[in-house]
Amino acid sequence: MTFPTSRRALLLGLPALLLAAGTAGAAWMMRVPSDLDLSREKATEAGLYMAAVAPVEEPVTVGPMHAWTVTLTDRDGAPLDGARITVDGGMPQHGHGLPTSPAVTQDLGGGRYLIEGMKFNMPGWWELDLSIEGPAGTDSVTFDLVL
Amino acid sequence: MRRLPVLLATVLVLGAAGGGLHVAVQPGWSEVELAQVRSLSLEALPPLPADPSNRVADDPRAAELGRALFFDTRLSANGEVACATCHLPDRQFQDDLPLGHGIGQTGRRTMPIAGMAYAPFLFWDGRKDSLWSQALGPLESAVEHGGDRTQYAHLVAERYATEYEAVFGPLPDLTMLPPHAGPVADPVVAAAWEALPEDRREAVTTVFADMGKAIAAYERTILPSETRFDAWVASDAFPKAGLLSEDEIAGLRLFLGEGECVNCHNGPLLTDNHFHNTGVPAAPGLPEDQGRAAGARLVREDPFNCLGPFSDARPEQCGELRFLAPDGEDLVRAFKPPSLRGVASRAPYMHAGQIGTLDEVLAHYASAPAAPEGHTELRPKALSAEERAQIIAFLGTLEPLTPDVKRLAEAPSRSAALRERSLD
Ligand SMILES: [Cu+2]
């Protein structure tokens, strides 16, 4: 699954600015690594699946609780239904985890799943870790987000 | 802890590259920096979030009843304690004491109320998930109001029947109920409660919950007021000095940057409404305090929570409770950061008033001592005395505007005069 550029630009608008301002603004902001892969679609670590994440409502801001969808495909690009997904994450630069305990609440079909209960309570670099249990085995993927 | 090596490496890089940079006030602000400053101002405050667990949350009649209850000292064991005893309206709805004093002494600092309707969890440990369920806790605490449910229900029937019934409908039949009964610490009162039939207990508890809902409707009207910082952000001079002095602006930059204060004190209320262990020392003489680790358990067990029988919400409207982080290392001795609006005039600080002045608070954050339990989120920071003073100067701009400054701030033609005043 791919995202139209405009959607991604909208979601990543602030982070893109943040990164652009990285050198000038870093004097008074926690430096977010400039080489983060901010893509929302990735192969899982061992290459068993492809995973794509997207917030249900944009933009994603610091504070409110929001939902995301995860779209999974197998190695052949076929939608992966019936997978079990657990959600974890945190802020690598702050040493803490997610403020909430998000969970998959719906299998939307077509390889799509709804994650509810996501929240980011601070600006900065966040990791979203998904552990995916499917027919090919268990694999994980980490998405980097900058708010 | 996640990826500590990365974290340490980053700190080292910052330490090596950042020395001295933060001292000079840079003339330029990037768009991101300006956006971050604006995100702290009152203009960024979203509309009051709905409280689906309280069907009368926005009913003015409920707010009026709640206001009356808030100030009524009859809601206590000795006729002397009201909500307003500790939440003093002319003191930001707090009491300037290290620990709250009602019938006895509590184990925590009284929290201010302005903007609390934005908080998904209440109290320092978040053991309540709505303003109305929060209001019920002190009413039944032996050291706060010290009263009980039938006492309160009788009072409502005797003194507030008309107002109550206009909002909530007919009162239940309270005849033959004992004057004192409720699930409280007093064994006699608790035994009287246990002796009541289930349906009568439920009827009384409904009245009790409704009292909380009325008080919550009142508390929802208590909102933060404009500060000099807000007026500065809205002024033509922004981001140049004007309503804020160069020192105060330097403090703001430190707040956002080197000080990393904004990590937890973000958004227009300057709190992330989450829970943090910042290594605050234990208060002498008080029992061990687990903070959020206990609060997360208590809120899930609370019969007055969003998913409970007295809530007006549907389960799907209880996201904060359903997806709450139930346990883990991050929760141990973690406490909610209060809003920094008005903080400069609100000593003492921390959840049990352990720290007396903002200067000492900043010294604590700079030195980052080990936590008495769990792990502090702080890292030591090389903030000079001057830098700490600048941050404190910035915090001083978060005081509500005095009528005098407010008038000046509202008159653009006089902004020059005000600028001179602010630099005095
Ligand atoms: Cu963080």
Q: Which domains are present in chain B?
A: 5-47+225-281+289-300+310-421 (1.10.760.10), 60-219 (1.10.760.10)
- Residues A109 and A63 grouped into a single domain: yes
Q: What per-residue confidence (pLDDT) applies to B27? A: 63
Asked if residue B110 has pLDDT above 90, the reply is yes
The beta-strand segments (E) located in B317-399 are none
**What distance in Å separates the CA atoms of residue A132 and residue A63, rounded to the nearest whole number?**
27
| Residue A31 Cα to ligand 1 middle (Å) | 13
pLDDT digits (tens, 9 = 90+) for B373-398: 999 999 999 999 999 999 999 999 99
Mean pLDDT in residue range A44-51 = 98
- Residues A13 and A67 grouped into a single domain: no
Q: Is residue A115 one of the residues assigned to a domain?
A: yes
* Partner residue facing B10 (CB), from A28, A31, A123: A31
| Residue B377 Cα to ligand 1 middle (Å) | 9
Chain B residues with beta carbon closer than 8 angstroms to that of A101: 323-326
Q: Is residue A36 one of the residues assigned to a domain?
A: no
Collapsed DSSP state (helix, strand, coil) of residue B236: coil
Chain B residues with beta carbon closer than 8 angstroms to that of A123: 36, 262-263, 266
- Residues A60 and A121 grouped into a single domain: yes
**What distance in Å separates the CA atoms of residue A88 and residue A133, rounded to the nearest whole number?**
14
- Residues A87 and A59 grouped into a single domain: yes
Mean pLDDT in residue range B230-234 = 97
Asked if residue A10 has pLDDT above 80, the reply is no
Residue B405 — very low, low, confident or very high, per pLDDT cuts 50/70/90? low
Mean pLDDT in residue range B20-34 = 65
- Residues A2 and A49 grouped into a single domain: no
CA distance, residue A40 to nearest chain B CA (Å): 22
Q: What is the ipTM score, two decimals?
A: 0.83
What would the DSSP string read from start to end of A43-107? E-TTSSEEEEEEESSSS--SSS-EEEEEEEEETTS-B--S-EEEEEEEETTTTEE-SB--EEEEE
Q: What per-residue confidence (pLDDT) applies to A32? A: 87
pLDDT digits (tens, 9 = 90+) for A80-126: 999 999 999 999 999 899 999 999 999 999 999 999 999 999 999 99
* Partner residue facing B325 (CB), from A100, A123, A127: A100
| Residue B175 Cα to ligand 1 middle (Å) | 55
Mutate to test the interface with A, among B274, B323, B383 (most CBs of A within 10 A): B323
Q: Is residue A48 one of the residues assigned to a domain?
A: yes
Judged by average pLDDT, the poorest of B130-139, B188-197, B340-349, B401-410 is B401-410
Asked if residue B1 has pLDDT above 90, the reply is no
CA distance, residue A94 to nearest chain B CA (Å): 7
User: Do the chains contact at B266 and A123, CB–CB below 8 Å?
Assistant: yes
How many structural domains does chain A have? 2
- Residues A14 and A62 grouped into a single domain: no
Cβ atoms within 10 Å of B162's Cβ, excluding its own: 8
**Domain range for residue A54?**
41-146
- Residues A78 and A15 grouped into a single domain: no
CA distance, residue A89 to nearest chain B CA (Å): 9
Q: Is residue A97 one of the residues assigned to a domain?
A: yes
The CA–CA distances, whole Å, from A94 to A97, B30, B129 equal: 9, 24, 26
Whether cis (ω within 30° of 0) applies to the bond prior to B197 is no
Order the strands of the A137-146 sheet from edge to edge: A96-97, A84-91, A125-134, A137-146
| Residue A95 Cα to ligand 1 middle (Å) | 7
Mean pLDDT in residue range A11-19 = 36
What residue has token string 């934005």? B118
Mean pLDDT in residue range B400-404 = 76
* Backbone φ and ψ of B411, nearest 5°: -105, 100
CATH of the domain at A69: 2.60.40.1930
- Residues A59 and A15 grouped into a single domain: no
Q: Is residue A133 one of the residues assigned to a domain?
A: yes
Chain A residues with beta carbon closer than 8 angstroms to that of B30: 17, 21, 24-25
- Does this model's pTM top 0.80? My answer is yes
CA distance, residue A121 to nearest chain B CA (Å): 6
- Residues A16 and A69 grouped into a single domain: no
- Residues A23 and A47 grouped into a single domain: no
- Residues A16 and A84 grouped into a single domain: no
- Report yes or no: B67 at the A interface, CB cutoff 8 Å: no
- Residues A14 and A51 grouped into a single domain: no
**What distance in Å separates the CA atoms of residue A66 and residue A14, rounded to the nearest whole number?**
18
